[in-house]
Structure 1
Amino acid sequence: MRGNVSRLTTKGAAPVSAKGGASYDASSISVLEGLEAVRKRPGMYIGSTDSGGLHHLVWEVVDNAVDEHLAGHAQRIRLAVRTDGGVEVTDDGRGIPVAKHAKERKPAVEVVLTKLHAGGKFDQQSYAVSGGLHGVGVSVVNALSERTEVEVSRDGVRHAMAFERGKRARALEQVGKSKKTGTVLRFWPDTTIFDDPVFEGERIATRLRETALLNPGLRIDFVDERDGREESFRFTRGLADFVRELSGDDEPLIPRPIEIHRAEEVNGQSLACDIAVTWSGQRNDERMRSYVNVIRTADGGAHEEGFRKGFTGTLNRWGQANKAFKKGDPALTGDDLREGLRAVVSVKMPDPQFEGQTKGKLGSAVMRSFVERAVNEALGEWLDQNPTLGRRIVKRAQVAAKAREAARQARDLTRRKGLLDQTSSGLPGKLADCSSRNPAECELYIVEGDSAGGSSKLARDRHTQAILPLRGKVLNVERAQMQKVLANAEIQNLVRAIGTGIGDDFDYAKLRYHKVVILSDADVDGGHITTLLLTFFYRLMPKLVDGGHLFVAQPPLWLLRKGDLVRYAMTDRERDKLLRTDFKNKGKVEPQRFKGLGEMNPQQLWDTTMDPATRTLLRVSVDDAQHADETFGLLMGESAADRRTWIEANARYADNVDV
């Protein structure tokens, strides 16, 4: 889960009275001009100011370069993460126009970088299809950067200009000659806007790899100047290569992916879809990626809905017609048929309607019926031509259906016994609940052992903080069958305390705490317990993670004290730094190592780990579901050989190992 957490800090706010205050009249109305609105409310344009929003700036610039490729003008893109904290994106497209804009009376490149909803993608004249259709992408990048520099090569001349926080700092000027064409854009994120403006090399590389897979023939070079990493991505088979990437080393259920390609004009719109599908013969998780004009739609939308409907309907109809079902067998659900699925759905259209500027979900209804029709026809033809493979697919889904029914029966049996129903079974006896009944302000701390539970109960704010001690290590749900999981006493206590149920029965309305905090010792055993709990939440309560309700507390490992000077250190490295700085020339200091939370007195635990004003919580999030799934399967799954290979390959990166 490295790289998938963001720090949560708590800051005080001045109280606001419901009555009184300044008068509300015409002078109270503020009008934000130009890019000022973006700087004032960045979340409206990039989703957030955490790591996700920061990297969204990169995607906007890269998407513009990819649009040049889609228009038939760019064949190569280069992205470099600079040592000074900036990002540089270069393409060999036509170059942003530099002539004076007739209406704005400014160079077109300046208009593009300083005006919202300005670009060449609204009338389908310059770009038949494009991801950056809202025309706010690069101007938002400019608004949210301390500095932005752009170089344009076209018509034999190289031009340059610069901006600072969205405002022009250097007018457009000719800086040389050029035999090539293209655009270079550099930007440095504004440190006053972003929580932690540090780019993640692996995250960027993963996105660039996906982009190259979606654009056969396009070469994308990635350079991370901070650590010397250099990679080039270029693929020739497109989506067929992509689904093989999603499968990893798994043995596929069918020898070659099913490929669907369809393009036609619908109501005057040129629509196209490219789909590749296969199944893992070993893993049961579903891995699907969907895109619109090469933009990832993480929340799906109309194209995914059309794919799922056509996919499920076609396989069921074919199975019935070809007697792949036994008499009385129920129709297979989409979940059954998609178990182990590896699929990529990429569509292109001239004017897609997205929900929000971050383009996470496609809302264009015309694409739903188009994709469904394409899947019905192409998949039906493939099944008729490959009946043996078709029966293999149906049989795998029937096995999944039986397992799903067995799990449902186990849940029903458990519920009848009153183990998952909060109303009938009551809260766990070990839970020290908080007095507040407002879930938005309530926090549940999950601690290991009665000793840590005793300290944390004395340290907590009884109004908003609840404590649930767990005995021993939680069951590894990655390996255990559902019947065993539901019979486990510690898991029963977790489910009862949180109140939502698990899996398909998860009910947000019953969530009792908006912060669920894992608090374990700052040693190897504590790390193992944290990993077991993360596996439980990721597998059985993924909506809790997706909703941003899961956190990992950061207790200190060391206490340093000399007289009235007291400091805490999270790691050995931080301890050594404090000894060289804060305790320099203070005489001999004997650091105290906390072997467990139980060794901390309640005041120390409150000051370092539970006080909202001073604590550090890591919010758990999953930016790449495929990578997270593979990681949990590797580290917590059945294959000891694969785990050993991974440990041998990565052991050199480990530090602060407690042996």
Structure 2
Amino acid sequence: MTENEKEEQRRKTDEYNASQIQVLEGLEAVRKRPGMYIGSTSVQGLHHLVWEIIDNGIDEALAGFADTIHVTVEKDNSITIVDNGRGIPTDIQEKTGKPALETVFTILHAGGKFGGGGYKVSGGLHGVGASVVNALSTELDVTVTRDGKKYYMDFKRGHVNTKMKFVGDDDPDNHGTKVHFLPDPDIFTETTTYNIKTLTERIRELAFLNKGLKISLRDNRPEEPTYEEFHYEGGIKHYVEYIDSEKTPLFEEPIYVEGMENDISVEVALQYTDDYHSEMRTFTNNIHTIEGGTHEEGFKRALTRVINDYARKNNLLKEKDDNLTGPDVREGLTAVISVKHPDPQFEGQTKTKLGNSDARTATDHIFSEHFAKFLFENPTLGKQIVEKGALASRVRAAAKRAREVTRKKSGLEISNLPGKLANNTSRDPEISELFIVEGDSAGGSAKQGRSRLTQAILPIRGKILNVQKATMDKILANEEIRSMFTAMGTGFGNDFDIEKVHYHKLIIMTDADVDGAHIQTLLLTLIYNYMRPLIDAGYVYIAQPPLYRLQQGKMIRYIANDDELEQWKAQLPASPKPSISRYKGLGEMDAEQLWDTTMNPDNRRLQRVEAKDAAQAAEIFDMLMGNKVEPRRKFIEENATFVENLDI
């Protein structure tokens, strides 16, 4: 860094002071209603504490003052996060009369991200920041280095324990903030144990989304601590390569576009593969906008328009040919769209859908301008992209004809439901459930044991088609898939209409073995790709049949998993000797047992499927079904606990 650059940085550090810390309200409510501030007090809420502190470091990086963040999980499940930003201001904040550092950690919504002075763009969905992490931790300490000085302060359950104190001089070139906190078990009653996989995935994602930023993750809990560093100079371009690592791309390097319009920064990276489905991940200020939004709409609109314009100008589409549709030009596409917006408005069921109309316009303008130029300069690739879309168009037309024939033959009409469906008597979708059951024998038990008023049973035989690798006409030729589409009543793909749904619960019920997991993954992949609104509406579930039956004398217990079994064994008296039997499949249970353990709404366990679960299932499936042996071997090694008790 030159002396001039150092001087400019010092000037901006001086400007980032207590006057830029804006105060909105106090902390009292946070401990009473933590869910309002971090979403929940479950394992997701626990991890949200880490995201909040990391977001502060990323805000410094976005403003150009930080390039490194270190995250450490300590032996006691406390967290240490260090960034090399400017350091939180330590001068007196005018409104509170307290040091800005204390204000940031004790007053809700006090921070540089509210009001214009501190940050133009800020990460984080809740934006609740340091004070909420402090309120929900038994203890928190913070060390700030700035202006050649080091300061320290610590707190207990949100209250000041040690007032801010000067602890020594430091090198004027050193700067940054170190936060260490221990989550409060009185708040996080479910667990205070951090999941290293969850931390790794999000930290990797954040490193992709902020090119050049280095984020490290250290776990001090194992005997041999683990350490990983994430640093991607190519940013989301490398993200697309990472997503496509098990696929065959049409061209080597992803297309990358970036630009700025009306203070909105837009980045897009995309690549086409030989797959039949598309994968788009959209982000706003580093938040994964799972439900999409205006930036996604702007991108889709621009992509379709530019490809059609290019195809017409270069005679790749004849006059008599229809324009390629959105789904045509997106077939086999992997894209990451990341916008940074000064004032994002989130909407939708989970507040993960971007609502700003100016983001649509900015994404459309920036992407279309750069993408049109790219196609013009790379005619061979341009032709490949158009030809892939044209092939998708022809297949779509063939599938439409097949669909119409299918409708006429055995129908996607309500009046002509699949022959093997044992339907329920109620016609009220709100109380109706469809169980998709693996195998005829289990299907028979389920039909006998069910509540006929509310529960319908659809047995499926053999393997479902892998929709990741199949065209629409092949998908429609598959009897099992057609039965499911028909039974749900919604249609699929572009014709999907959730208003026509027959059941508000679609429950996947498979054996607890490798085949069952395989079928479950295939079904989730199918629903994610062709009936996605069912997942978004919260209508898709996975049944949790018990793994064990434990009997001691007259006492019978059905046990869900190995951990629960160990807990029960530890509690049982020594005699009489308990008998433990392991269920290998649903077919081993009679109708009454299946009802008691897995289907009775009063005592069954269901896992609701979220979009991220289904997306992960699709990714895992890509890898397990892919041509590359090494990633498959690595996955099986890393997930050995998942397969060790299963019938392989």
Report the TM range for the smaller structure's normalisation: 0.7 to 0.9
Query: Which residue of 1 is the match for residue 117 of structure 2?
Result: 125
Shift in alpha-carbon separation, 1:459–1:388, aligned structure 2, 3 A: closer
Match of 1:236 among 221, 233, 236: 233
Native 8 Å contact 1:428 1:497 kept in 2: no
Shift in alpha-carbon separation, 1:426–1:608, aligned structure 2, 3 A: closer
Letter in 2 for 1:153: T
Q: What's the offset of the Cα at 1:90?
A: 1.6
Query: Which residue of 1 is the match for residue 218 of structure 2?
Result: 223
Match of 1:305 among 290, 293, 297: 297
Match of 2:195 among 171, 193, 200: 200
String of CA shifts for 1:298-348, please: whole Å, max 9, x gaps.
Answer: 333333322222222222112211212133111112222222223333333
Match of 1:65 among 51, 57, 76: 57
1:74 equivalent in alignment to 2:66:
yes
Letter in 2 for 1:183: T
Query: Which residue of 2 is the match for residue 113 of structure 1?
Result: 105
Match of 1:633 among 622, 626, 629: 622
Query: Which residue of 1 is the match for residue 612 of structure 2?
Result: 623
Match of 1:55 among 39, 47, 56: 47
Query: Which residue of 2 is the match for residue 277 of structure 1?
Result: 270
Query: Which residue of 2 is the match for residue 553 of structure 1?
Result: 543
Native 8 Å contact 1:428 1:496 kept in 2: no
Question: 3-state SS of the aligned residue for 1:623?
Answer: helix
In the alignment, the residues of structure 1 paired with residue 447 and residue 185 of structure 2 have an alpha-carbon distance, to the nearest angstrom, of 41
Letter in 1 for 2:257: I
String of CA shifts for 1:560-619, please: whole Å, max 9, x gaps.
Answer: 22212323334567556644x244521444433434334334443343323334322222
Q: What's the offset of the Cα at 1:249?
A: 4.6
In the alignment, the residues of structure 2 paired with residue 113 and residue 188 of structure 1 have an alpha-carbon distance, to the nearest angstrom, of 15
Shift in alpha-carbon separation, 1:615–1:486, aligned structure 2, 3 A: same
Query: Which residue of 1 is the match for residue 95 of structure 2?
Result: 103
Shift in alpha-carbon separation, 1:313–1:78, aligned structure 2, 3 A: same
In the alignment, the residues of structure 2 paired with residue 326 and residue 399 of structure 1 have an alpha-carbon distance, to the nearest angstrom, of 14
Unaligned residue ranges in structure 1 (runs of 5+)? 1-32
Shift in alpha-carbon separation, 1:194–1:458, aligned structure 2, 3 A: farther
Shift in alpha-carbon separation, 1:487–1:547, aligned structure 2, 3 A: same
Letter in 2 for 1:221: S
Native 8 Å contact 1:158 1:178 kept in 2: no
In the alignment, the residues of structure 2 paired with residue 93 and residue 138 of structure 1 have an alpha-carbon distance, to the nearest angstrom, of 15
Letter in 2 for 1:497: A
Letter in 2 for 1:455: S
Q: What's the offset of the Cα at 1:158?
A: 2.5
Query: Which residue of 2 is the match for residue 168 of structure 1?
Result: 159
Q: What's the offset of the Cα at 1:232?
A: 0.5
Q: What's the offset of the Cα at 1:233?
A: 1.2
In terms of mean alpha carbon deviation, does 126-135 or 283-292 score higher? Answer: 126-135
Unaligned residue ranges in structure 2 (runs of 5+)? 1-24
Question: 3-state SS of the aligned residue for 2:353?
Answer: coil
Query: Which residue of 2 is the match for residue 28 of structure 1?
Result: none
String of CA shifts for 1:507-538, please: whole Å, max 9, x gaps.
Answer: 21122322222223334444444344334333
In the alignment, the residues of structure 2 paired with residue 132 and residue 554 of structure 1 have an alpha-carbon distance, to the nearest angstrom, of 34
Q: What's the offset of the Cα at 1:195?
A: 5.0
How is 1:495-510 mapped onto 2 (pairs within 5 angstroms)?
495-510=485-500
Native 8 Å contact 1:116 1:135 kept in 2: no
1:286 equivalent in alignment to 2:278:
yes
In terms of mean alpha carbon deviation, does 348-357 or 309-318 score higher? Answer: 348-357
In the alignment, the residues of structure 2 paired with residue 358 and residue 170 of structure 1 have an alpha-carbon distance, to the nearest angstrom, of 37
Question: 3-state SS of the aligned residue for 2:232?
Answer: coil
In terms of mean alpha carbon deviation, does 174-183 or 369-378 score higher? Answer: 174-183
1:608 equivalent in alignment to 2:597:
yes
Match of 2:206 among 190, 194, 211: 211
Native 8 Å contact 1:149 1:160 kept in 2: yes
In the alignment, the residues of structure 1 paired with residue 212 and residue 631 of structure 2 have an alpha-carbon distance, to the nearest angstrom, of 35
Native 8 Å contact 1:295 1:359 kept in 2: no
Letter in 1 for 2:404: D
In terms of mean alpha carbon deviation, does 33-42 or 254-263 score higher? Answer: 33-42
Letter in 1 for 2:215: I
Shift in alpha-carbon separation, 1:250–1:124, aligned structure 2, 3 A: same
String of CA shifts for 1:204-250, please: whole Å, max 9, x gaps.
Answer: 22222222223333211112334433101112233332332232154
In the alignment, the residues of structure 2 paired with residue 76 and residue 343 of structure 1 have an alpha-carbon distance, to the nearest angstrom, of 27
Native 8 Å contact 2:550 2:580 kept in 1: yes
Query: Which residue of 1 is the match for residue 459 of structure 2?
Result: 469
Match of 1:248 among 245, 249, 256: 245
Q: What's the offset of the Cα at 1:646?
A: 5.5
String of CA shifts for 1:54-110, please: whole Å, max 9, x gaps.
Answer: 433332221111011122222210112334333332212222223332212333233
TM-score, with structure 2 as normaliser: 0.84
Shift in alpha-carbon separation, 1:125–1:272, aligned structure 2, 3 A: same
Native 8 Å contact 2:548 2:580 kept in 1: yes
Match of 2:176 among 171, 182, 189: 182
Native 8 Å contact 2:524 2:618 kept in 1: no
Letter in 2 for 1:231: E
Letter in 1 for 2:57: A
In the alignment, the residues of structure 1 paired with residue 287 and residue 502 of structure 2 have an alpha-carbon distance, to the nearest angstrom, of 37
Shift in alpha-carbon separation, 1:572–1:256, aligned structure 2, 3 A: closer
Letter in 1 for 2:177: T
Letter in 1 for 2:94: A
Shift in alpha-carbon separation, 1:434–1:260, aligned structure 2, 3 A: same
In the alignment, the residues of structure 1 paired with residue 345 and residue 65 of structure 2 have an alpha-carbon distance, to the nearest angstrom, of 25
Native 8 Å contact 1:297 1:362 kept in 2: yes
Native 8 Å contact 2:139 2:154 kept in 1: no
Native 8 Å contact 2:87 2:145 kept in 1: yes
Q: What's the offset of the Cα at 1:458?
A: 4.5
Native 8 Å contact 1:499 1:510 kept in 2: yes
1:369 equivalent in alignment to 2:361:
yes
How is 1:533-572 mapped onto 2 (pairs within 5 angstroms)?
533-571=523-561
Query: Which residue of 2 is the match for residue 93 of structure 1?
Result: 85
Letter in 2 for 1:521: D
Q: RCO greater where, 1 or 2, for CA within 8 Å and sep 6 or more?
A: 1
Letter in 1 for 2:530: L
Q: What's the offset of the Cα at 1:42?
A: 4.6
In the alignment, the residues of structure 1 paired with residue 178 and residue 364 of structure 2 have an alpha-carbon distance, to the nearest angstrom, of 40
Q: What's the offset of the Cα at 1:43?
A: 4.8
Query: Which residue of 2 is the match for residue 414 of structure 1?
Result: 406
In terms of mean alpha carbon deviation, does 646-655 or 299-308 score higher? Answer: 646-655
In the alignment, the residues of structure 1 paired with residue 587 and residue 620 of structure 2 have an alpha-carbon distance, to the nearest angstrom, of 31
Shift in alpha-carbon separation, 1:345–1:458, aligned structure 2, 3 A: closer
Aligned-residue identity in percent? 45
String of CA shifts for 1:243-272, please: whole Å, max 9, x gaps.
Answer: 3223215443234333323335x4xxx343
In the alignment, the residues of structure 2 paired with residue 171 and residue 599 of structure 1 have an alpha-carbon distance, to the nearest angstrom, of 62
In terms of mean alpha carbon deviation, does 336-345 or 533-542 score higher? Answer: 533-542
Shift in alpha-carbon separation, 1:151–1:310, aligned structure 2, 3 A: same
State the number of aligned residues: 616
In the alignment, the residues of structure 2 paired with residue 118 and residue 77 of structure 1 have an alpha-carbon distance, to the nearest angstrom, of 22
